[in-house]
Amino acid sequence: MPSEPESDSTVAKEDLVSDFGSPGPFSVSTRVGIMTALLGFKRATFTELLLAVKSPKSSLSKNLGILEDHGFIRQRRGFLPALGPRTFIEITPKGEEAIKKHLELMRGLADRFLGSNNAADPPAEKKERREPTT
């Protein structure tokens, strides 16, 4: 039975985890930081992302290119009257879906290996403290 073709906004497994020996787009913490920042900002300037992820300009530029190649972000040049030319970066629907899936995977791993810390979890029973008897 042939599979349904994926739409542009659907994140394929290959977009998150590449084959062994070939790192995926979120294998570098800078890219995770960029995408997480854009998840909150939706749109940011290059300078705003530079400050948010605390990365050298060359590294940020290279990682933005990789994310754009995956269709996770869009970059465009613009001009602000008081500030001059700027590069604007925005997250795409595909990128938003991908970073949310990645963060869910990371939360699941953290919960599995470190224990759940979700507010939705029932509170642990308190043990009564007993004073030592002498």
Note down pLDDT in tens along the chain; length 134 residues: 444 444 454 555 555 554 444 467 888 889 999 999 999 999 999 999 999 999 999 999 999 999 999 999 999 999 888 888 999 999 999 999 999 999 998 898 888 888 866 555 555 555 555 666 66
Classify 13-113 by CATH class: mainly alpha
Contacts of 103 (CB under 8 A, 6+ apart): 36
Closest CA to 53 of 42, 63, 65, 67: 63
